[in-house]
Amino acid sequence: MAIYVDETTKVVVSGLTGREGQFHALRNRAYGTQVVAGVTPGKGGQDVEGIPVFDTIAEAVEVTGANTSMVFVPAPFAADACFEAADSGVELIVCITEGIPARDEAELYQYLRLRDIAMIGPNCPGVLSPGKANVGIMPTEIAAPGRVGLVSRSGTLTYQIVHELTQRGIGQSTCVGIGGDPFIGQFHIDVLRRFEADPETDMVVMVGEIGGDEEERAAEFIRDSMTKAVVGYVAGFEAPPGKKMGHAGAIISGSKGTAQAKAEALEAAGAKVGRNPTEVAEIVAGM
């Protein structure tokens, strides 16, 4: 069993007729994902290589039975596309778009939480359940089916650690790139909770970054609620204090939000923490 997406996932793509939306949606379909519809206002009735395009998500869901929305809409309009998806009745939203204003993200977060709708992202690589479904932009060539779950704030580090695991013959149940913005739909704890309940996930790799206290809160959850082993990694051991690095949420002040503080919190909770992606894979291989 995978978390978030599997063989039953039916995807409607907002922005399918755009360059990025079309490229990745067709890659997802080629992998075996059920990409059943696209949405671009004013282009209803057209199709993209056999995928029907609708004017609204509600219409696409009604006609095709889509249960998952993937959003490639430009930043000024992406939040509205997510609101529309939430109102259409889908169970999951995967928002790839980066650069969405923080205020829009905060309002969207509250809206989705009140309705118990899961969203991965924004500003994320999406979700890959190897051998079952890919909803997003993750390179499937580096992944393999298996029993190690992965959740990460960093897209690039997701790819690197997945590749390191696969090179060692260690497959993955689901790989979740949650995004690094301050306001995202699913945090580490949300994903860890799903992995803990998944009978086909034996171990979890959790990748964090500097900034905020999400990893510290995840450490508390690991200590109090996880029975499965967790291997951690926190990017940014060499980051200078007070300087934003990479994602919008990656800013530290004094000792708060540093990689060292996060690693220590995870280790105190019982997780093993690697100091680089290769070491992470080596720890997993040795467990």
The residues that are catalytic are 247
In angstroms, the CA 39 to CA 21 distance is 10
Of 112, 96, 277, nearest to 186 by C-alpha is: 112
Structure tokens at 10: 């039916």
What region, left, alpha or beta, does residue 261 occupy, with left being phi > 0 and alpha being psi -120 to 50 degrees?
Answer: alpha
Map the chain to HEC letters. Answer: CCCCCCCCCEEEEECCCCHHHHHHHHHHHHHCCEEEEEECCCCCCCEECCEEEECCHHHHHHHHCCCEEEECCCHHHHHHHHHHHHHHCCCEEEECCCCCCHHHHHHHHHHHHHHCCEEECCCCCEEEECCCEEEECCCHHHCCEEEEEEEECCHHHHHHHHHHHHHCCCCEEEEEECCCCCCCCCCHHHHHHHHHHCCCCCEEEEEEECCCCHHHHHHHHHHHHCCCEEEEEEECCCCCCCCCCCCCCCCCECCECCHHHHHHHHHHCCCEEECCHHHHHHHHHCC
In angstroms, the CA 265 to CA 244 distance is 22
- Token look-up 């977060």 returns 109
